[in-house]
């Protein structure tokens, strides 16, 4: 069964290649969805896939890439929508 994870990552997560590393991590796990910077300095991501792979992804979000300093991750779970084909970086907001 597939799920959707929506997460907001807080801390020093912009300007440290967080989006790129997140995209690579998600693709390596076979997840679909997106990641983007938010105006408030957080990074938001939506990922879909198998629960165990999403759990691994969420664990990684709590650490992030080497230059990041993650202080908190807000995570919410939903049923998968199957609306995504790949996992990409999104630019802009909304």
User: Which of these is catalytic: 12, 28, 36, 37?
Assistant: 37
Residue 76 annotated among the catalytic residues of the structure: no
Question: Does some domain include residue 61?
Answer: yes
Domain count, the chain: 1
Helix (H) or strand (E) holding 61: helix 51-61
DSSP secondary structure letter of residue 90: -
Q: Is residue 17 part of a domain?
A: yes
Q: What is the pLDDT of residue 92?
A: 79
Query: Which segments of the chain have a pLDDT < 70?
Result: 94
Of 12, 19, 36, 72, the active-site residue reads 19
Tokens of 4: 């959707």
At residue 26, the pLDDT reads: 98
Q: What is the phi-psi region of residue 11: left when phi exceeds 0, alpha when psi lies from -120 to 50, beta otherwise?
A: left
In a domain, residue 89? The reply is: no
DSSP string, 15-56: SSSHHHHHHHHHHHHT-EEEEEE-TTS-EEEEEEEEHHHHHH
Annotated active-site residue 19? The verdict is yes
In a domain, 94, yes or no: no
pLDDT tens digits, 30-54: 999 999 999 999 999 999 999 999 9
The reported pLDDT for the residue numbered 94 is: 60
**Domain of residue 45, CATH code:** 3.30.70.100
Q: What is the domain extent for residue 22?
A: 2-82
């Amino acid at each position: 069964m597939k799920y959707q994870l929506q997460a907001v990552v807080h801390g020093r997560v912009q300007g440290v290649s967080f989006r790129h590393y997140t995209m690579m991590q998600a693709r390596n796990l076979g997840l679909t969805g997106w990641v983007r910077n938010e105006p408030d300095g957080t990074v938001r991501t939506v990922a879909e896939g198998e629960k165990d792979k999403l759990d691994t992804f969420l664990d990684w979000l709590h650490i992030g890439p080497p230059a990041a300093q993650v202080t908190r991750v807000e995570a919410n779970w939903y049923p998968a929508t199957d609306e995504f084909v790949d996992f990409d970086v999104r630019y802009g907001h909304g």
